[in-house]
Amino acid sequence: MEVEQEKEAGTALMALHIPDADYDMLVIPYRDATENLLVRLNTLNRDYRLKYKNYPIHHIQNRIKHKKSIEKKLLKKNLPVSAEEARENLTDIAGVRIICYFEEDIYSVVSLIKKQSDILVLIEKDYIQNPKLNGYMSYHLIIGMPVYHTDGMEYYPVEIQLRTMAMDLWASMEHRICYKEEGIAPDKKERFRNISSELREMENEIKMMISG
């Protein structure tokens, strides 16, 4: 009886983790999708500079979700912890963050992405025109990126966040100070909301200085 209970406990424990080999196989096409997207974004940025003597993208970051993060996300969604469940239910295994100079650059890049006929726009959220209550601003896209295999093509989701440098500074600091700490003082959260607006005003002032 004890042996059976130990086996059941072991099985339950195993179900909380994705085997390393399964994780490695899971993320291969997401890496391919990300690399494909990065090539296109860099090409668009260079072409934009040639045509308009300017470029909208300051820099690009990318990541593939770690195995532990995938496991936590599945558990949070009350889903079985497996590579197959992750593939079927998660849209943020691959992530790309595009840091632009000004807000109008974000919308230019979004427009250029949408013009690519083989990219699917799955989810779109504009937190610039409609900031979150805590002051967070960003433009979110989840796209279906084509990945070509020897036996055909399949779409894989890539989460894209587009921010200005000021938005990215605010989001990074807010995440560290407010999101990561428990019981943060309400006045500190309120101050961060105000700083978000102040950074936006500063950014617009710099833009006017450059254009004027």
Q: Which fold has domain 2-165?
A: Beta Polymerase; domain 2 (3.30.460)
Q: Is 159 considered catalytic here?
A: yes
Helix (H), strand (E) at residue 6: helix 2-14
The lowest-confidence range among 36-50, 79-93, 144-158, 186-200 is 186-200
* pLDDT band of 192, cuts 50, 70, 90: confident
pTM value?
A: 0.87
Span 109-142, pLDDT tens digits: 999 999 999 999 999 999 999 999 989 999 999 9
Six token digits for residue 19: 């085997």
In the chain, where are the structural domains located? 2-165
15: Cβ–Cβ under 8 A, 6 or more apart, which residues?
80, 81
Catalytic residue among 35, 159, 201, 205: 159
Q: What are phi and psi of 93, to 5 degrees?
A: -65, -40
Strand partners, 157: 144
Phi/psi-derived region of residue 75, left when phi > 0, alpha when psi is between -120 and 50, beta in every other case: alpha
Nearest to 37 by CA among 89, 104, 106, 112: 112
